[in-house]
Amino acid sequence: MTRSYYDEFSKLSVTQMPQAIADMTYAYNETQVPAKHYKEMLGKQFEELMEAQASVKLVDVLFSTLSSLQKESPRLFFQALLLLDLGIKPKGLTAQQYQAMSVTADKFEQDKKAKMLDKDILGLFNNILKNGVLYKMKEEDND
């Protein structure tokens, strides 16, 4: 059976692993990441890493719930989000607010390409996804 790089890597000490990871990273488009970064990541407590996984699982549960609610009644789902965003409780809805909510929901339904979130928020997500958070922070410093 042939040996893989993983076989050798898994035998390295924790002090040798960061440099090996930095070397692998450099091999990809000559990307330089200091071994110190990987050493800090490998030294993180397991609980810290689990927080992110727990957060993703919670988001997944909420996503599934919201997705099923949206499929069940897109109009009511939109109206609930609108009221939530405006800080208006449905129980205290005035006739004027109900009318504004209904007309806004009509407009939303007519515009099939409408997004639920603000275009700037969606743009921010896509910008960070494409360029990374450091690029965004540098961009803000230049403004």
Question: What is the domain partition of the chain in residue ranges?
Answer: 5-42, 46-112, 115-143
Q: Using the structure block, give the residue that is written with the tokens 């743009």.
A: 123
Closest CA to 12 of 26, 29, 24: 24
User: Mind listing the pLDDT tens digit for each residue in 48-97?
Assistant: 778 888 889 999 999 999 999 999 999 999 999 999 999 999 999 999 99
- pTM, two decimal places: 0.59
Helix segments in the chain, DSSP class H:
5-9, 17-27, 35-42, 46-72, 74-86, 95-110, 119-131, 133-142
Q: Is 97 exposed, middle or buried (0-12, 13-18, 19+ CB in 10 A)?
A: middle
